[in-house]
Structure 1
Amino acid sequence: MSWPEGIEARPIDKGDADAWAELLAAKEEVDQEGENYNAQDLVDELEDPHLDPATDTIGLWADGRMIAYGKLHASDTVIDLDRVGTEGTVHPEWRRRGIGTALMPWLMNRAGELHAAKHPEAPGEVTGNRISTNVGAERLFQKFGFEERRYFFDMKRPLDQPVPTAALEGGLRLVPFDTSMDEALRLTHNEVFLDHWGSTPKDADSWKTWFTGARAFRGGMSYVVLDGTTIAAYVLGYEWEADTEVTGSRDLYIGQVGTVKSYRGRGLARVTLAKVLAKAAEAGYQRAGLGVDADNPTGALGLYERLGFSVSSKWVSYGLPL
């Protein structure tokens, strides 16, 4: 792979976390995606047990600064399609110099290698996404033949507004998350999200890394609906300290909302979300946020709007067959 003159390319390691965080902060200042990271957040990403930083990350450097990066995410399980995810950015001061055009083929080639190594028996696709306001990213995806696949909304709700009250019926119980239910919750989550676009089952390592074992996870802001000992629904909350540091607003992010299929239509998600929002307000959070698939089959978008959430940004997911 050839890079523009004066650019050094090498895999990202933990010693690069500060430089990587500086790059992402510069990107956020211009692109306004609502995502902020500190160095420890990025170290956590490099420690993902399913990531090989030596082969699946790349940092581009100039004059001692990281001026671009790329990273891939491969799934261990395939449902319908092997989607190999990509992410990356170019420092705003270095854009329109051909760096993104050079970075994209590296990502595409590595995605093809990962697909061939992990799931050659299934159809494959390299994927990526952009916030709708990033016109430069849109042009880059189009240049390489990517097509729009799906749309997602980020939604927010101020917590100084009243939270609608709701109650459970039929002997169900709403209880705080407890570590004793962790494995049962993982299996329930995998069942719930089988019919969600792009979702694949999470193994124990991924669950611990990105869900209930993540530094951002807030067990005290997470609730589960039980029918006896069976999990019927759940809402998991997270807090990103880097966001608070940058924005000055303490936000609770609703990472997962799920209801087991046989329990849908009974308002369990509404009751659980209302509880989490009320607890977050009591705990001093100022806003709640979440992301939703615009075509979510369970009608989640309408539920969130009825609970006072409104769209803050739109995201576009892209795909290109491998």
Structure 2
Amino acid sequence: MTANDAYVEPHLTWRLLGPGDVQEVDEFRQQLDALDDSVLSGVAASITHSGLHVVEGMAVGGWDAYASLSAFGISYVAETDPPRVYLMGGVHPVHRHQNIGTALFRWQFRRAVEWRDEHRPGQPLWVGCYAELTRPGSEKVPRNFGFVPERYYYDLQRDLQRPVRHFEVDGITFAPLDDAREEEVRVLHNQCFAPLGGSDVTKVDWRHRLDEATFRYDWSFVALDGGRVVGYAMSGVDEGGGEVDEGGAQARLGGWTERFGVHPEYRGRGISLALMSHCLTAMRASGCTEAGIGVDTIDGEGIKRFAADLGYATRDAVALMSTVVG
């Protein structure tokens, strides 16, 4: 590649990023996180440590007249079949509204296609990025390039000082989780998340979480059709939630539902609402002042109804947007 290959647009001075730029990029990401109060830096961190890799020539930075890094774009490649490329990046607020973000996205997208044409000619290429739904306009740029939402990731929060609406389902009973059903719940969890690309949780990892001090059996429930587990909700202490006293110590508990699913054959019957109403009621009875849950779904409208029925408010919402280049 030549220096010209790194040109993105005229407002900043652009060059390809290399190993010597890692610290400056990390510091810039932290700066953006502080300025935007954005969850995308956490998403970027998880991608960085996920085993995906950055191919030479697919990371670029732009510096202002004072030699300060002001924008960057890094593309992470998963050499799957077909291959996948995740586009990540950011622009300093001072330099926004100058179409720098659009130009940067265009550069990344073009480089992803060029990489495919060189290394996987003839194969379809999946290209994805993340958009923060609580920031108006964050979806606009990828939509202009033909990207559409593929998955939604919501962090929901509920004030438990308000009463919890109770739900039941005809023919389904609900019971606290116990060790006797540990393996059946683990198998169901893996079954629920395999179609979403999730890797199986091993018996060792599953048991390790149940043994941690923050896990709460009394806040975790299963849905039963006779003796068969058809749904589960596993909860623990939200170490970042609840109220704190003047000294900064946690004064009251916050609860977090961390694993949650319903057997595919039993969806659409309200089992998820009933499971969560049991969890929320148990947390409230234990003195929790708030509860949270993270939801991974393909149904953006469905999760809005779920949240409204249970009294949750959206804390963070991110969409995975994607397109396929033939």
Fold similarity call, TM over 0.5: yes
Q: CA deviation at 1:60?
A: 3.3
Letter in 1 for 2:199: K
Aligned position for 1:268: 271
8 Å contact from structure 1 (residues 70, 86) kept in 2: yes
**Is the partner of 1:161 in helix, strand or coil?**
coil
Q: 1:310 to 1:202 in 2, by over 3 A?
A: same
Judge conservation of contact 2:73–2:108 (CA < 8 Å) in 1.
Answer: no
Relative distance call for 1:135 and 1:274 in structure 2 (3 A) is closer
Tell me how far apart the structure 2 counterparts of residues 251 and 57 of structure 1 sit (CA, whole Å): 42
Separation in 2, partners of 1:114, 1:133: 32
- 1:20 aligned to 29, 34, 49, which one? 29
Whole-Å Cα distance in 2 between the matches of residues 284 and 156 of structure 1? 12
Please report how far the alpha carbon of residue 269 of structure 1 lies from its aligned counterpart in structure 2 after TM superposition. 2.0
Q: Would the alpha carbon gap of residues 204 and 119 (structure 1) be closer, same or farther in structure 2, given more than 3 Å must change?
A: farther
Contact kept? 1:72, 1:86, Cα under 8 Å: yes
Distance 1:43 1:193, change over 3 A: closer
Sort the Cα spacing of 1:252 and 1:57 in 2 relative to 1 into closer, same or farther, 3 A: farther
Alpha-carbon contact 1:130-1:316 (below 8 Å) kept = yes
Residue type matched to 1:202 in 2?
S
Structure 2 Cα separation of the partners of residues 276 and 136 of structure 1: 35
Partners of 1:127 and 1:189 lie apart in 2 by 26
CA, structure 1 residues 84+36, in 2 after alignment: closer, same or farther (shift >3 Å)? closer
1:100-154 deviation line (CA, Å, top 9, x unaligned): 24532454256547878999897443123424565554443255x2243468584
Alpha carbons 1:13, 1:46 under 8 Å: kept: no
- Decide whether aligned partners of structure 1 residues 309 and 97 sit closer, same or farther in structure 2, where only a CA change above 3 A counts: same
Question: Partner residue of 2:129?
Answer: 128
Q: Provide the residue aligned with 2:13 in structure 1.
A: 5
| Equivalent residue runs for 1:191-206 within 5 Å | 191-193=191-193, 199-204=196-201
Find 2:76's aligned residue among 63, 72, 78: 72
Show the counterpart of 2:247.
Answer: none
Displacement, 1:260?
Answer: 0.6
Structure 1 residue 259 corresponds to structure 2 residue 262: yes
What's the counterpart of residue 189 of structure 1? Answer: 189
* 1:211-230 pair list within 5 angstroms: 219-220=215-216, 222-225=220-223
Q: Whole-Å Cα distance in 2 between the matches of residues 58 and 107 of structure 1? A: 8
**1:160 positional shift:** 1.5
The offset of 1:232, in angstroms, is 2.0
Q: How high is the TM-score relative to the length of structure 2?
A: 0.62
Unaligned runs of 5+ in 1: none
Q: 1:233 aligns with which of 219, 231, 234?
A: 231
Relative to structure 1, the CA distance from residue 304 to residue 135 in structure 2 (aligned partners, 3 Å threshold; closer, same or farther) is: closer
Quick one: distance in 2 between partners of 1:83 and 1:70?
A: 14
Structure 1 residues 321 and 150: CA distance shift in structure 2, 3 A: closer
- How far off its partner does 1:66 sit? 6.9
Cα distance change, pair 273–72 in 1 and its aligned pair in 2 (3 A): farther
Aligned partners of 2:111, 2:242: CA distance in 1, in Å? 31
User: Structure 1 CA distance, aligned partners of 2:147 and 2:287?
Assistant: 43
Amino acid at match of 1:219: F
Percentage of identical aligned residues: 19
- For residues 243 and 55 of structure 1, the distance between their equivalents in structure 2, rounded to whole angstroms, comes to 45
The structural deviation recorded for 1:259 is 0.6
> Given the two structures, how large is their TM-score scaled by the length of structure 1?
0.62
CA distance in 2, matches of 1:128, 1:179: 41
RMSD: 5.3
Aligned to 2:49: 47
Provide the rounded CA distance (Å) in 2 between the counterparts of 1:36 and 1:285: 27
Shift of the alpha carbon at 1:273?
0.9
Unaligned residue ranges in structure 2 (runs of 5+): 245-249
d(CA) in 1 for partners of 2:84, 2:46: 22
8 Å Cα contact 1:253/1:288 also seen in 2:
yes
Cα 1:18/1:193, change in 2 over 3 Å: same
Q: Is the 8 A contact 1:224 1:232 kept in 2?
A: yes
* Contact 1:147–1:319 (8 Å) recurs in 2: yes
Give the match's secondary structure for 1:20: helix
Residues 203-236 of structure 1: CA deviation (Å, up to 9, x unaligned): 459x97xxx97xxx96336544466885421224
Measure, in 2, the Cα distance between the counterparts of 1:309 and 1:254. 13
Q: CA deviation at 1:44?
A: 5.6
Query: Looking at CA atoms only, which structure, 1 or 2, has the larger radius of gyration?
Result: 2
Q: CA deviation at 1:51?
A: 2.2
SS in 2 for 1:25: helix
